[in-house]
Copies of this chain bind each other. A is one copy, B any other.
Amino acid sequence: MPVIALREPNPSLTMQRRSHAAGYVILRELNGLLHLDLPECAALDRLDFATRQLRAGESLVHCGDECRALYAVRFGSLRSAMIDADGAEQGLGFPMPGDIVGTDGLATGRHTAHAVALERSEVVIIPLARIAEIARTLPGFDLVLYRIIGRETLRDHATLYLLGSLNAEGRVAAFLLNLSERYGELGYARNVFNLRMTRNDIASYLGLTLETVSRAFSAYASCDLLRVDGREIEILDREALQRAITAPSAVLRGGRAARPQSGRYGGALALAS
């Protein structure tokens, strides 16, 4: 799998990366990475965490692994999925910088999903034991924990809405806009980006087949909402894409004005993480 460079790297992230060539980061950086808003405190510079580098295709957690730590993505991107006895996969998400990986193992002590790097990536290892240590050191840290947890829940709920209420084209539109937002928040371009995952990965995540995903891309491209060149995506008409989330096929059939919709397809939802 080719390593595709991101454009317009976030200056602050780059600086942080350079300033810690060794395999660890201090809590202050983790604080910024996860947007924790931790209170200013000496511990921010005292507590440090090991990191781990992943090559494209390398696994971070396997299904069945014991869960001793959570992982905060520092750069790169992963694919998380659950797998059943027959080898059929259900994609669960695409963790990117600032996301947490591994919360699925907290309940039973063993991971039920696996996570694989889609490109060269780095994660910060947060041992569960250290979390308790931080909680003792930093008053008000519990609030921060809640925030992390709640973010995961929100993301899952957004995906449930996506799978339960949207048709194929709506799912693809929502997926791309969500990805665009996340790139934007990381300091990258919102309108042009390279997909790190295959059509199959996307299909697995969206509950579709890869053919349907490919057709949705082509359909959006043919009416100039999108420019698609393999994995390079350019968003040409963000508003129309937004409408396409809930207006089944209306955008693609030349109907600029959404037909009066009733039934299960209707309404918009902020998918921003």
Among A92, A104, A106, A267, chain B packs the most CB atoms within 10 A around the CB of: A106
Residues 91-146 of A contacting B (Cβ, < 8 Å):
91-92, 103-108, 112-113, 128, 131-132, 135, 142-143, 145-146
A164 within 8 A of B: yes
A184-211 interface code vs B (CB 8 A; 1 in, 0 out): 0000000000000000000011110100
CB distance from A131 to the nearest CB of B (A): 7
B145, B157, B164: which contacts A104 (Cβ < 8 A)?
B157
A164, B202: Cα distance in complex, Å:
12
List residues of chain B with CB within 8 A of the CB of A150: 103-108
List residues of chain B with CB within 8 A of the CB of A132: 142-143
A147, B132: Cα distance in complex, Å:
14
B88, B106, B163: which contacts A160 (Cβ < 8 A)?
B163
Given contacts A107-B150, A152-B153, contact A90 B207 (CB under 8 A): no
Residues 242-261 of A contacting B (Cβ, < 8 Å):
246, 261
A175, B244: Cα distance in complex, Å:
30
B128, B131, B160: which contacts A92 (Cβ < 8 A)?
B160
CB distance from A210 to the nearest CB of B (A): 10
Total contacting residues, chain A, CB less than 8 A: 54
List residues of chain B with CB within 8 A of the CB of A104: 150, 153-154, 157
A25, B19: Cα distance in complex, Å:
52
B87, B142, B143, B207: which contacts A164 (Cβ < 8 A)?
B207
B106, B113, B204, B266: which contacts A157 (Cβ < 8 A)?
B113
Please name the residue on chain B nearest to A165 by beta carbon. B90
Contact B157 A160, beta carbon cutoff 8 Å: no
A209, B262: Cα distance in complex, Å:
13
Report A's interface with B, CB cutoff 8 A: 82-88, 90-92, 103-108, 112-113, 128, 131-132, 135, 142-143, 145-147, 149-154, 156-157, 159-161, 163-165, 204-207, 209, 246, 261, 264-269
The contact sample of 7 A-B pairs, CB cut-off 8 A, is A83-B267, A85-B267, A104-B153, A104-B157, A107-B150, A107-B154, A132-B143
